[in-house]
Each structure stands twice: as C-alpha cells, then as structure tokens.
Structure 1
Amino acid sequence: MDNILPWFALKSVPGIGNYLFKKLIKRFKSPEAVFEASCSELSSIDGISERLAGVIKKFKAPEDLKKEIDAAIKKGYMIITMSDRDYPLLLLEIPDPPPLLYVSGNLCSSSKNIAVVGSRNATDYGLSITKRLCSELVSNNITVVSGMARGIDTAAHEGALNGNGKTIAVLGSGLGRIYPVQNTKLFHMISENGAVISELPLMAEPDAFNFPARNRIISGISLGTVVVEATKRSGSLITARLAAEQNREVFAVPGSIESFKSTGTHTLIKQGAKLVENVKDIIDELSNVLVSNKNTAIKEKKEIDSQDICLNAEESQVLKALESYPVHIDELTRKVKMETGKLLSILLKLELQDLIKQAPGKLFSLRIKTEEY
C-alpha cells in the first residue's frame, strides 16, 4: 500500500488533473519525486504556476485515502498505476490517462483491443450483429472493450464471452457500485475472463458526468472503436470522436436508412469512418498493427441457403425477401406480393424451423448464424 499511497495523494492535490499528472510523472518519474521537488522545479513545468507549486509542497494526504486503498484490497481488487507493467500501453499515449486504475480480474498490457459501443436501446438487429462481430473478434485473439451499459455494450461483452475470448469493461462508476445493477452477473463473468476497470473511487456513483470521461478510456485502450446503432445524439459518438482525436481508427456498422437508431452511425460513415460488414473489414484496416496467426479462422456471416432446406417455392421466396435487419409485416407483404394471412402462416413455419425470428411490432428478420471455415 505504501507505494500506491503517493499516487492517490498526488491525484488528490487540488488543481492537478490527469493532464498535469502525466506531465509531472514524465518529468519526475514518480509521485514521491514530485513531492520532493522544489517549488522552482515544479513551476518550470508548463501548466504549474507558482501558487500550484506551493499547494503541492504543502499538501498532506487525507487519512481516508488509506481507507480507500484498504477497502479495494479487501474486495480483492488490484490498483495499478501508470508505472506498472500491466497498465495498458495504448492508454499511456492519450493526453490525459488515468494515473491509476481499479481492476477486477486480469488486465494485461496487450494492445490488441477493439472497442465496440452503441445504443442502450438497441434493436434485435443491433444486438445480434454485435454479438456475432465480437465473437468473431475474439476468435482472432482480439480483446473486446466496452462500457457494460445496457444494449450494445452488454451484447459486446456477451459476444466475446460466448466466443470464449477476453473482454474488458470500463465503468462510469466505482467497482463497488456496479451499474447497471442487472449486469452484476456479467460483471463477475467479465472479471473471470478479462477485467472490469474504473478510474473512479471504489464507491463512486454512476453520475452522468462520469461517462464522457469513461469513454476516453474505452477508446484510449483500443486500436479502434466500432459503433453499432447510434442516434445523432448518442454518447457513443463521443467515444468515436475521442478515438479520432486519439489518432485511433473509427468503424461503423450500417443499419436501415429508415431507422433513426442508425442515423449516428451513418453520419460517421459519411465523415470517413470505415464501414463494417464483417470482422475482416476491421482486421484488414488494422493489418499493419494486428499480428494475426495465418491459421486463425475468420468467422464471417454465411447467408442461409434455402436449397439446403426443404422449403417450397413460396417459403423460399419469403426467406429470400428477409434480411438480418427487421422488416415490418406490411413492407414484407408488398415485397412478396402475398396475402397477409398466408404470409403469416409461412412466417410461423420459418420461425418454428429456427430460420427467422419475430420481434415485437410484427417485425421479422433472418436468424443470423455464424460458421467457422
């Protein structure tokens, strides 16, 4: 604990944010050396005024810092600092990395991370695509990073876990305040197959202002950020903007032009984000930094071939008219030019054969299947 306490102390100095903290460590190498430096040495750092240098010299660590460290250790959490070998290398490159991270699980310094984020109120299409994409990413030894929020974030972590891969969750609350609460089980599963991390104090609440700062860690720890389903006002676009500012790649999964849930992702594509149809699009774009095993299979979506299934002509017609993105029954009726009652009967048969799925509101879509080859 003694070697961690100075990091907490320097972080607690009024006026020392993450940006100045990084500058001080770059110059003096350790918090202990910062506190031992003279006022003139401190004020020689750009951004450190004589007044702030005086505050640093006079600062005494609050007693509750020791209690905070003890509480984290008793919970079984690790606390890693910028000088630790397990601190993410990519995160050190951003202008304002967190000086320390609380970690539940095992956080290695590997940089083969891809962030996948999106809407909290996702469609079945978005959730299905996310799970498939993340399962494919981990099959290529890539770690999936997300924020453990509802919707796309949860699907990203679940897809990685379903693919027996590693995933990292970055919280906008302390590790002692799991948010959302319904993801408590997921929290523990991620901890066993990767890590849940936070820069916030152990019992910090999930206040709204924490999440934009959390997003810089999600993008900063990753080689690129994939956005799946985001409106024009989505917080996921903040993560994408931060990724671009951090000189990281930005990817976007297209959706229906009629869905407001995809207006944000389409805007990103117009602005130059890489369009993603499958995992190969991501790997090809990052081929210069991703060292992939040539024998590693790449999973990609394989369209359902109606010739391999015993369907009559009308059933095949309906199946071919469906896509992975949900289609309303009225639109489908127009496409196949079939009476609604008959169409519903065919759709029911296809659903029972596990070829399609129905979402609330009479929305139908292909059941996406993946296969390794």
Structure 2
Amino acid sequence: MRRLLAALGSPQAVAAATPAALADVIGPARAQALNEPPDDHAKRLAATRAWLDAAPDRRRVLTLADADYPPLLLQAADPPLLLYLEGRHALLATSSVAIVGSRKPTPQGLDNARRLARQLGEHGWTVVSGLAKGIDGAAHLGALDAGAGTVAVVGTGLEQVYPLAHRALAARIAEDGLLVSEFPIGMPLQPDNFPQRNRIIAGLTRGTLVVEAALKSGSLITARLAAEAGREVFAIPGSIQSPQARGCHALLRDGAKLVESVDDVLEELGNEARPAAHDPAPAQPAADDTPDDQVLGALGHDPATLDALIARCGWPAPALNARLMELELEGRVMRLPGGLFQRRGAA
C-alpha cells in the first residue's frame, strides 16, 4: 500500500487506478486482489460506520497521514496505514513504556508487572501492553491503579475482546485508557495477528520491559522489534530453574538493561514524562512557512532523527511528521532503520 501511495499520490488515486496501472506497481496478482474486494466488503464497511457512530467522541480511525498519528510509531519500520481507536486518544501523544511478558506467569511475575506499571504511572508514564492474559493484564491493572493512562494494542477488531476473560478490563481501558488496533471492525480472531500487533507495541513506546518470558515467546519478538527501532529494552532476571526466566536472561545476555526497581527504568528514560492531561496545544507553522525549503533544508544531506529535525526547524512533531510523510510519498525523502530520515538524490 505504501508503494501504491508513493507511486500514485493519494488513496483516491489508488482507488481510481486501472488494473494495469496497479499491476505496474505491485504486480498482477496483488492488483487483481485489490480490484476484487471480498463479498462482505459493504457489510463490513457499514459495520465500521455503525461502530464509529455509536460513540463518536470515543472512537476514531486514524490514518498514517494524520497530524495526530503517534510520532514514535511513524518512525518505526512498518507503521500501519490505519489505527482504530477507542478511549482517550490523547494518550498516543504521551511518554510511554511497554510492559510485556508471559501468558502463564509466576505469582511473583504478576506482582512485579503490576507494581512496576503502577510506579511508572505514578511518575507520569503511560503503560502500553497487549491485553493478553498474564503479564499484560497485570500491567494494565497496575497503570489503572495509579490513575494513569494505559494503552492496549489488540489483535482483533475493536468490537470484540480477546481473551473473553478480559472483557471487564477492556471496558475499563476504553473508559480510562485507550484501545488500539490496526485490524478492521469485523476482523476475526487469527493467531498470526498477535505477532503482527507486537510491532505497534514496540513502535509506540520509548522502551520495552519484559517481565517474564520463555525462550520462544511473543514478548521476545516485541523486544527485538524495539531494539531494531533504536528503543530501550529492559528485562527482569529470575530463577535459573524457571523456564519463564530464560527469555529475560537471553535478553540480558544480548545487552538489555537489568531491572530490579522502577529506578532502573527511569534512569534510562528519565524521570520526567509527558502526561496526557497536561499536553499543551501544539504550535502550528506560520502561514508563510515554506515546508519544502524548511524541512528539506533542515534535513540537509545526511541522515537525521525526528528530534534533530524538530530542533533544527522548530516545528511541532505532528506537523513535521505529516510533512515528512508527504515528502516520502513524493519520493523526495526516505525512511531509514533506527528512526532516521534522509533526502533522496538532489531533492
């Protein structure tokens, strides 16, 4: 889809393109599939509109080009084109930490997850997790205990809850936190969706804390994606006799920061977080700004991070992200691993 947007310029142009024009960009098989929507497409579209209309102040579909798209996620290697939201949308702009781990944790692991999430919330950090049984659920509860925000990134459409045992927790998060999914309304439960959603958990946050995990664990996928995106990775050590500690020990051998208390996390990320309730309204570029000259000029000819560009041109992150996306779709800027941007050729 990003190749189509870069080649054709807009979703409307993609929708209006001929099969031949689509095939030139993505190949004949994908072009044919794109021109043959599923039989239940109209039904699912109507269901999505009904879902939005039922709570318009709490529900939203966010596009990749929206100025409110989370800046950290936009820097990730594979940001989703759409995000479905329910709850406090402003939490996407806050300073956040992911807490993930085993679905079958030890009692100590549950206690550690809930306690650390509560302490991070008390320091103003938003806790992000995946609403799964075990460590994820404990992390969400700890953040809610602190009266802080929590974001649950799920692997289904937002009209359903998985696991069913977390229906009450999901309802509480929809009220006091934020539910997020890249999967459309009507998307059934599919196991492959859960590893895919892990990249969003890693991409939204400045760091990922793994509380307990086996060696073959989705939590290790999240940690790897966080490291690849240049984010911090933390792990809590455990007993050498416990299978649930082996994943954390593997992360520690690979360079993750050992965590014994919340201070170990705050030492890396800083004590000052950006809570949703106190976010100032972002300044907007002046009407006579020239985006091409300013953004491309600030970018220069060497790779630069988003923070560096903000410092150079003085734009707020949402507006700068939106302009960088436009330049990327125009083929004038490329996104590099590690959250870096670089001009293409003599752009």
TM-score w.r.t. structure 2 length? 0.70
**Cα separation, 1, equivalents of 2:34 and 2:109:** 52
**Structure 2 vs 1, CA of residues 57 and 260 (structure 1 numbering), >3 Å: closer, same or farther?**
closer
CA apart distance, 1:251: 0.7
In the alignment, structure 1 residue 163 sits paired with structure 2 residue 143: no
Aligned position for 1:51: 28
8 Å CA contact 2:44–2:186 kept in 1: the answer is no
8 Å CA contact 1:68–1:201 kept in 2: the answer is no
CA apart distance, 1:198: 1.1
What amino acid maps onto 1:112 in structure 2?
S
Aligned position for 1:270: 253
Larger deviation, residues 136-145 vs 25-34: 25-34
**Cα displacement string for residues 262-311 of structure 1 (whole angstroms, at most 9, x for unaligned residues):** 11101110111111112221122123xx7448xxxxxxxxxxxxxxxxxx
Aligned position for 2:179: 196
Q: What is the SS of the residue equivalent to 1:68?
A: helix
In the alignment, structure 1 residue 260 sits paired with structure 2 residue 237: no
Q: What is the SS of the residue equivalent to 2:89?
A: coil
**Structure 2 vs 1, CA of residues 33 and 160 (structure 1 numbering), >3 Å: closer, same or farther?**
same
What amino acid maps onto 2:60 in structure 1?
M
**Cα separation, 2, equivalents of 1:216 and 1:28:** 27
CA apart distance, 1:43: 7.2
Aligned position for 1:72: 51
Q: What is the SS of the residue equivalent to 1:256?
A: coil
The counterpart of 1:118, out of the listed 97, 101, 108, is: 101
**Cα separation, 1, equivalents of 2:85 and 2:273:** 27
**Cα separation, 2, equivalents of 1:70 and 1:228:** 38
**Cα separation, 1, equivalents of 2:61 and 2:118:** 29
In the alignment, structure 1 residue 223 sits paired with structure 2 residue 206: yes
8 Å CA contact 1:173–1:206 kept in 2: the answer is yes
Unaligned runs of 5+ in 1: 1-20, 294-373
Q: What is the SS of the residue equivalent to 2:151?
A: strand
The counterpart of 2:227, out of the listed 223, 244, 250, is: 244
Q: What is the SS of the residue equivalent to 1:192?
A: helix
Residue correspondence of structure 1 range 124-163 to structure 2 within 5 A: 124-163=107-146
Higher relative contact order (CA 8 A, sep 6+): 2
Max Rg structure: 1
The counterpart of 2:164, out of the listed 181, 206, 229, is: 181
CA apart distance, 1:55: 4.7
**Cα separation, 2, equivalents of 1:40 and 1:187:** 44
**Cα displacement string for residues 192-234 of structure 1 (whole angstroms, at most 9, x for unaligned residues):** 2220111112232332111110111111111111000111112
**Cα separation, 2, equivalents of 1:285 and 1:224:** 9
Q: What is the SS of the residue equivalent to 1:255?
A: coil
8 Å CA contact 2:4–2:26 kept in 1: the answer is no
Aligned position for 1:282: 265
**Cα separation, 2, equivalents of 1:70 and 1:282:** 41
**Cα separation, 1, equivalents of 2:30 and 2:245:** 49
**Cα separation, 2, equivalents of 1:259 and 1:57:** 48
Q: What is the SS of the residue equivalent to 1:63?
A: helix
8 Å CA contact 1:72–1:78 kept in 2: the answer is no
8 Å CA contact 2:214–2:245 kept in 1: the answer is yes
**Cα displacement string for residues 52-111 of structure 1 (whole angstroms, at most 9, x for unaligned residues):** 796599667943353132232144232221122332221112222221111110223415
What amino acid maps onto 2:87 in structure 1?
G
Unaligned runs of 5+ in 2: 275-347
Aligned position for 2:14: 34
Q: Which runs of 4+ in 1 moved over 6 A?
A: 37-44
**Cα separation, 2, equivalents of 1:32 and 1:56:** 17
**Cα separation, 1, equivalents of 2:188 and 2:31:** 32
Q: Percent identity?
A: 43
8 Å CA contact 2:96–2:204 kept in 1: the answer is yes
**Cα separation, 2, equivalents of 1:41 and 1:281:** 53
CA RMSD of aligned residues (A): 2.6
In the alignment, structure 1 residue 93 sits paired with structure 2 residue 75: yes
8 Å CA contact 2:19–2:35 kept in 1: the answer is no
8 Å CA contact 1:138–1:144 kept in 2: the answer is yes
Residue correspondence of structure 1 range 5-44 to structure 2 within 5 A: 21-25=1-5, 30-36=10-16
